Structures are given as structure tokens and as C-alpha cells.
């Protein structure tokens, strides 16, 4: 009887599981036929593109409409999708203008907001209008909106224009309390990625470089706003030094930051007036719909392709997706296969490598560098730098035929460091755990985190780091066509903005992704081409299954509890998963934009 009951329960359980799987499959199939329909959207006449600045901007964002429904992850929108939508809107006669709606939760890097703003400036060349509205303008959102023909604010709204700050966190005192010390090996006065583990404040050199690139980035942003709003630079600087966030809508208008004060329900009337039509005679279309439109540029009949390859995130040897590490990284073992395929594809006439990376694993960076060299031996390869292309991010860029950077790109940071923790005090004194080792040779247990390294072992690691630095600077010198001594004079781990990097020869041009594509076209001597992006984004089913996983749920809970400190915690936790030798930009920098 017991066996009968046991088998009956097992059978029922199996049937229920099968039914659940079938229901999930049917649901996903239905969704794929509706929400994920790849048919390009039809844009009716008298349409307006709605650009909502209320999410985090990612270099590329996978499509997944179930994200908010399931609640496992904060929604993001891809920079690539925004730029494509703006370009399509510019060239589509049915779209008469763009309506920008600023939100409270907009988050993007200085380079990203600069690229979006550039696209809007180009859009205005079509003669179409841009109007912006916000209940509350964040500084980054306002920078983008400043290009609009008309900026509107809620009568009780706020506008944040306060300058730029960069912040990091130091763990030294925490480590001392728990009995952990970091054994540091580095090359470069400015290679300050190790400072949070051994200091409780910025070194003089690090403070100098952060002050320099922060001021340079702010100069770019403030110059653009001053020109768009016709505000003298000295006046804008004076206003920036006031607590503008706590001002009034009338003050914002008086100081020329906005053009109009109105509640949101007046927006349809304002837009229809700009279009010369009735309020109910225009349609609002989304970024997603406009981005999905077929490009007006016909595909090249000869099959010529310019490939844009996105290298986004930290550089690692293999992907290590868990709740403590970013799900976006540059895994060298995957990237080198992709790049080799592009090199050997005869239809691909040029490659644009889009780099947005603070660096990472030195060995992995070398492997990707080798594949860039391989591509260059067969066809032009142009680098387009995004928010970051520093340290390892510069390593994988330096061999390209040309390097194009945004003025606010953070690049350089040519240096190498190693971190090996010493947990002996934590283990012995705090936890009462002792390790005893028997070994056949002197270095058999090296490195061992249960004890501090001796002088000979430290010398071995430092020598290895020195050799990595020599190789890194040689790669940069060969790629840029200048002497290794010249590279070393501007290296030392120092971070530069794109503007400064051009002056010292680390990049060739100041521009965006579109500029890099044009350079690639010229280098490949193509009259026409088809643009294709790589690697392929995750398919819809993979995204859905990933988002409903327990790790994804746990990650969201950690993010919600830690808030702005999540990235700091993630950075600390992921140290143990990194290779000991890193070519990485200085620590985690939080821009208060």
C-alpha cells in the first residue's frame, strides 16, 4: 500500500511538472508572437518620438518585456537603441519631432549623455522640433534636454545643475578590523586601483588625476549647455555654485534654464501647436518602435559589411555570472573566437570595435589584443571608445588602425597591479583557525592567503608585474607608432579624458560611434555597406529563463537592500574571482551626474 501511494504521488508530481513546463512553453510562444514580433513598426503620419529619460542606460540592453512583470531586475534601455531611434526619426517623414520626458531615475555616464545629445543636435538639422518636459530634471537628463527648442518644467518642479563629483570608498579600516591586509604589487604612480585596500584617503597623485579629469568632463558638459541656452559661461558657473535643486520654477525660467512653466496635462496642447495640428491629430511612438524600423539606407547589393563588435564590461578570461558579478563582461575566450570569425569573413570589409570597459584581467587583455592585431593584418579595424576604455580597455584598443573617443571618455590608465590578500590575522587571531604546511620545494604553496608573503616571494610577484607593464607599454608603443619611453612618460597608470588623450597621442579623433563607422567605411574604400552588430544579443527565451532564476531574484534583493552601495559590495566580493594580476582603471568611481 505504501509503495502504491508513493508511486501515485510521484506520478501526480511528474504530471504537474510536465503541465507547468508545457504552460510555460505555451506562454513564451504566445509572447513571442505578440510582444516580440520582429516585424518593423508602421509609423503613421504626424507622429512624435517619445524619449523617456527614466531608466538606466546600458551600452546594449537585451529585450525582455517580462522584466518589470516578474520584478527580478531593474529595467534598462540600450544606448544603441536610443541612437538608432533618433536617427530613424530624423529620416522618417512621418515623424515630425521628438518629445523628451525627464524622469527621476535616469542614470547614465557622461559619455552616454554626450552621445545622446550629439544625436539630438544632428536630428535638429532636419528642421524638426524637440520639446522637453520634466517634473524633476536630474543633471544628466537636463544636459540632454538642453538641446531642445523648448524646455518646460512643472510649476512645482526641480532642476539639478550643481557640477560634477566623483566618489570612491576605502576599505582599509574595515579590513584592519576584521584582520585582513592586502599585499600590493603595482607599476605606475597613478595606478590607484589598489588604494582603497591600503589607504583611507586619496593619494596626492590620485587626487590630482581625479580633479583633472572631473574638471575636463565638466567643461565639456557646461560648455554645451551654455551654448544651447545662450547663457554666458561665467554666469552659468556662478549659478552652478548655488543650490539650484532647491530653487523655484520661476527662478529657473528667469535664469534661462527653462522656457516655459506648465503642468504635464498642457503638453499635448504645446506639441500640437508646434506641429500645427489638433491635439488628437498626432501619434506618440516609442523608442522601441522607431528603433525597430527598417533602415532607410538599403543593404549593400554586393554584400559588403561593416561589423560593429561590442566589447562591454570587465575583461575576464571566462564569464562568471553570479549574483555578485556583473552579467556583462568581456570574456576573452568568447571574444577571440568572435573576432577571428570576423577576420576570416570575406564579406566583412571593416570592423568597428566598440569598447566600453574599465579593464580587468591582464592575460585576457593580451589575448584580445592579439586578435585585434590579426584583424588588422586582413582589414581595417577602428576602435570607438564609450564611457571607459581604460587600462585593459586601452590594451585591447591600442592595436587598431584608428582610435575614436568621446571627449568625456575615460581612457589611458596604462599600468598593472596585483592584489594578494593576507588572511592570517583573521584566521589565527579572530577565528582560531591554524594552517600547517608540508612542502617539497620553496615555492610549492605560493601564494598562500593564510600567511604573509616573504621577501623572496614578494620580489617574484613584483617582477612579474613589472614584466606585464613592460609588455603593456610595448603594445601601446607599437600600436600608436611612438617610442616606449614616450608611452611610459604618459602612462604610470594615469587616467585621461578623451580630449586630453588626443592631445598626448593616445587617440586619433574625438567623435562617437557613427564617426568611427564613417572612418571604417573610408578605410575600407566602400561606397556602400550593410551595418551589422555583434555579438548577437541574448534570445528572448534565454533572457526570460535567466530573469526568473533564483540568482536573479537574490541579486535584486541585494541591490534593493544595499542601494547605491551595491556596486561597492559587488566589487569587494568579486575580488576573489579575479585573476591576481589586473590591468584595471582606478577602483569603482561613482559619478554624481
Q: Is residue 255 part of a domain?
A: yes
Do the beta carbons of residue 356 and residue 311 sit within 8 Å?
A: yes
Residue 325 has pLDDT above 60, yes or no: no
Please report the pLDDT score of residue 485 as a whole number: 95
pLDDT class of 538 with cuts at 50, 70, 90? low
Instruction: Count, in order, helices (H) and strands (E) of the chain.
Output: 23, 24
pLDDT tens for 193-236 read 888 888 999 999 999 999 999 999 999 999 999 999 999 999 99
The model's pLDDT over 458-472, given as tens digits with 9 standing for 90+, comes to: 999 999 999 999 999
Q: Which residue numbers are catalytic?
A: 191, 391
In the DSSP assignment, the letter for residue 107 is B
Closest to 304 measured CA to CA, from 521, 534, 515, 84 = 521
Same domain? 319 vs 269: no
Better-scored residue on pLDDT, 585 or 355: 355
| 55 and 156 fall within a common domain | yes
Would you say residue 140 lies in a domain?
A: yes
* CATH number of the domain where residue 352 is located: 3.90.226.10
Query: Is the residue at 297 inside a domain?
Result: no
The Cα–Cα gap between 467 and 471 comes to 6
HSE-up (13 A, CA, CB side) for residue 532: 19
**What DSSP assignment string belongs to 55-77?**
SEEESS----THHHHHTSS--EE
Of the residues 232, 264, 291, the one at which a domain ends: 291
Domain count, the chain: 3
Question: Rounded to whole angstroms, how far apart are CA atoms 144 and 100?
Answer: 9
Q: Are 233 and 222 in contact (CB under 8 A)?
A: yes
Helix (H, G, I), strand (E, B) or coil at 329: strand
483's grid cell: 617610442
One domain, residues 571 and 489: yes
Flag whether 72 is in a domain. Answer: yes
pLDDT digits (tens, 9 = 90+) for 432-452: 888 889 999 999 988 888 899
Report in angstroms the alpha-carbon separations of 202 from 193, 209, 518: 11, 10, 41
**Contact yes or no for 577/331 (Cβ under 8 A):** no
With respect to residue 453, please indicate whether it lies within any of the assigned structural domains.
no
Alpha-carbon torsion angle 259, 265, 270, 276, nearest 10: 180
In this prediction, residues 349-371 reach a mean pLDDT of 95
Q: Does 410 reside within a domain?
A: yes
Do 395 and 319 reside in the same domain of the chain? Answer: yes
Q: How many CB atoms lie within 10 A of CB 303?
A: 12
Q: Tell whether 261 is covered by a domain.
A: yes
Work out the pLDDT band at 14, boundaries 50, 70, 90. Answer: low
pLDDT over 60 (residue 151): yes
The DSSP-derived string for 432-470 is --------SSTTTT-S-TTS---HHHHHHHHHHHHHHHH
> Which tens digit of pLDDT belongs to each residue from 257-314?
999 999 999 999 999 998 888 877 889 999 999 998 866 556 777 889 999 999 999 9
Nearest to 50 by CA among 91, 102, 113: 102
Residues 387, 258 within the same domain = no
Side-chain half-sphere CA neighbours of 302 within 13 A:
10
- The phi and psi torsions of 68 (rounded to 5 degrees) equal -70, -35
Contact 312, 327 (CB under 8 A): no
Q: What is the mean pLDDT of residues 68-82?
A: 72
Q: Which of 252, 70, 241 is nearest to 158 (CA)?
A: 252
Q: How far apart are CA 88 and CA 49, in angstroms?
A: 10
- Mean pLDDT of all residues in the chain? 85
CA gap 108, 99 in Å, rounded: 19
pLDDT for 571 = 52
In a domain, 100, yes or no: yes
In whole angstroms, give the CA distance from residue 443 to residue 464. 15
Could you tell me the end-to-end alpha-carbon distance of the chain, in angstroms, rounded to an integer?
69
Of 393-397, 454-458, 533-537, the least confident: 533-537
Q: How confident is the model at residue 5 (pLDDT cuts 50, 70, 90)?
A: low
Q: Quick one: pLDDT at residue 17? A: 55
Residue 273 sits in the same domain as residue 342: no
Does 409 share its domain with 513? yes
Least Cα distance to 315 among 370, 364, 264 occurs for: 364
Average pLDDT in the 129-138 region? 96
Q: Mean of the pLDDT values across residues 95-112?
A: 93
Q: Of 13-17, 318-322, 514-518, which has the strongest mean pLDDT?
A: 514-518
* Mean local confidence (pLDDT), 115-129: 96
Confidence (pTM): 0.85
Give the pLDDT mean for 72-79: 74
Q: Show the domain range for 532.
A: 305-414+482-579
Give the pairing of strands 260-261 and 150-159: parallel
Residues 263 and 149 in one domain: yes
Ramachandran bin of 256, using left for φ above 0, alpha for ψ from -120 to 50, beta for the remaining angles: left
Report the distance separating Cα 407 and Cα 112, nearest Å: 11
Question: What is the Cα Rg of the chain in Å?
Answer: 26
Do 2 and 135 reside in the same domain of the chain? Answer: no
Tell me what pLDDT residue 76 has.
83
Q: Is 78 helix (H, G, I), strand (E, B) or coil?
A: strand
Beta-carbon count within 10 A of 440 CB: 5
Residues 384 and 334 in one domain: yes
pLDDT tens for each residue of 540-569: 555 555 554 444 545 555 555 545 554 545
User: For the segment 487-517, what is each residue's pLDDT rounded down to a tens digit?
Assistant: 999 998 899 999 999 999 999 999 999 999 9
Query: 404 and 502 share a domain?
Result: yes
CA–CA separation, 359 and 365 (whole Å): 8
Report the pLDDT averaged over residues 127-155.
96
Of the listed ranges 29-38, 411-420, 422-431, 527-536, the least confidently predicted one is 29-38
Do 66 and 158 have their domain in common? Answer: yes
Give phi and psi for 384, each to the nearest 5. -115, 115
Amino acid at each position: 500500500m505504501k509503495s502504491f501511494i508513493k508511486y501515485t504521488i510521484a506520478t501526480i508530481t511528474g504530471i504537474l511538472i510536465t503541465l507547468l513546463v508545457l504552460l510555460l512553453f505555451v506562454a513564451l510562444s504566445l509572447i513571442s508572437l505578440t510582444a516580440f514580433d520582429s516585424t518593423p513598426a508602421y509609423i503613421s503620419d504626424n507622429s512624435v518620438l517619445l524619449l523617456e529619460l527614466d531608466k538606466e542606460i546600458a551600452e546594449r540592453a537585451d529585450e525582455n518585456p517580462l522584466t518589470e512583470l516578474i520584478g527580478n531586475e531593474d529595467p534598462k534601455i540600450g544606448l544603441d537603441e536610443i541612437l538608432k531611434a533618433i536617427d530613424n526619426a530624423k529620416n522618417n517623414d512621418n515623424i515630425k519631432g521628438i518629445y523628451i520626458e525627464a524622469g527621476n531615475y535616469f542614470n547614465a555616464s557622461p559619455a552616454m549623455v554626450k552621445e545622446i545629445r550629439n544625436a539630438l543636435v544632428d536630428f535638429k538639422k532636419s528642421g524638426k522640433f524637440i520639446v522637453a518636459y520634466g517634473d524633476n530634471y536630474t543633471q544628466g537628463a537636463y544636459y540632454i534636454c538642453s538641446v531642445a527648442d523648448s524646455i518646460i518644467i512643472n510649476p512645482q518642479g526641480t532642476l539639478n545643475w550643481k557640477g560634477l563629483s566623483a566618489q570612491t570608498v576605502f576599505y582599509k579600516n574595515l579590513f584592519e578590523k576584521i584582520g585582513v591586509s592586502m599585499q600590493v604589487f603595482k607599476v605606475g604612480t597613478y595606478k590607484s586601483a589598489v588604494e582603497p585596500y591600503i589607504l583611507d584617503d586619496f593619494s596626492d597623485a590620485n587626487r590630482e588625476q581625479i580633479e583633472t579629469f572631473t574638471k575636463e568632463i565638466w567643461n565639456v558638459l557646461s560648455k554645451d549647455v551654455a551654448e544651447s541656452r545662450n547663457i554666458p559661461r561665467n554666469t552659468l558657473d556662478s549659478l552652478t555654485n548655488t543650490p539650484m535643486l532647491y530653487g523655484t520654477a520661476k527662478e529657473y525660467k528667469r535664469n534661462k534654464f527653462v522656457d516655459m512653466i506648465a503642468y504635464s496635462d498642457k503638453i499635448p496642447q504645446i506639441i500640437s501647436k508646434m506641429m500645427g495640428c489638433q491635439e488628437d491629430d498626432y501619434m506618440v511612438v516609442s523608442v522601441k518602435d522607431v528603433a525597430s524600423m527598417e533602415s532607410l539606407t538599403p543593404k549593400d547589393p554586393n554584400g559588403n559589411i561593416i561589423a560593429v563588435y561590442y566589447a562591454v564590461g570587465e575583461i575576464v578570461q571566462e564569464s562568471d555570472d553570479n549574483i555578485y558579478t556583473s552579467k556583462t563582461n568581456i570574456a576573452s575566450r568568447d571574444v577571440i573566437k568572435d573576432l577571428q570569425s570576423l577576420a576570416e569573413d570575406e564579406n566583412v570589409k571593416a570592423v568597428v570595435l566598440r569598447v566600453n570597459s574599465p579593464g580587468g584581467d591582464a592575460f585576457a587583455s593580451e589575448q584580445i589584443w592579439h586578435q585585434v592585431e590579426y584583424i588588422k593584418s586582413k582589414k581595417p579595424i577602428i576602435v570607438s571608445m564609450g564611457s571607459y576604455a581604460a587600462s585593459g580597455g586601452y590594451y585591447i584598443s591600442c592595436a587598431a588602425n584608428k582610435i575614436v573617443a568621446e571627449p568625456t571618455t575615460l581612457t589611458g590608465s596604462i599600468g598593472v597591479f596585483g592584489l594578494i590578500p593576507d588572511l592570517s590575522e583573521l584566521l589565527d587571531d579572530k577565528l582560531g583557525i591554524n594552517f600547517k604546511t608540508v612542502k617539497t620545494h620553496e615555492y610549492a604553496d605560493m601564494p598562500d592567503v593564510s600567511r604573509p608573503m616573504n621577501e623572496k616571494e614578494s620580489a617574484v610577484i613584483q617582477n612579474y608585474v613589472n614584466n606585464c607593464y613592460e609588455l603593456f607599454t610595448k603594445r601601446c608603443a607599437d600600436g600608436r607608432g611612438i617610442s616606449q619611453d614616450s608611452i611610459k612618460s604618459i602612462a604610470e597608470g594615469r587616467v585621461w579624458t578623451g580630449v586630453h588623450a588626443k592631445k598626448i597621442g593616445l587617440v586619433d579623433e574625438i567623435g562617437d560611434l557613427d564617426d568611427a563607422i564613417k572612418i571604417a567605411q573610408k578605410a575600407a574604400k566602400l561606397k556602400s555597406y550593410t551595418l551589422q552588430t555583434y555579438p548577437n544579443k541574448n534570445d528572448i527565451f534565454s533572457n526570460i529563463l535567466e530573469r526568473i532564476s533564483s540568482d536573479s531574484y537574490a541579486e535584486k534583493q541585494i541591490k534593493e537592500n544595499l542601494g547605491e552601495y551595491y556596486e561597492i559590495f559587488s566589487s569587494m566580493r568579486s575580488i576573489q574571482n579575479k585573476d591576481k594580476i589586473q590591468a584595471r582603471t582606478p577602483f569603482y568611481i561613482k559619478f554624481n551626474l
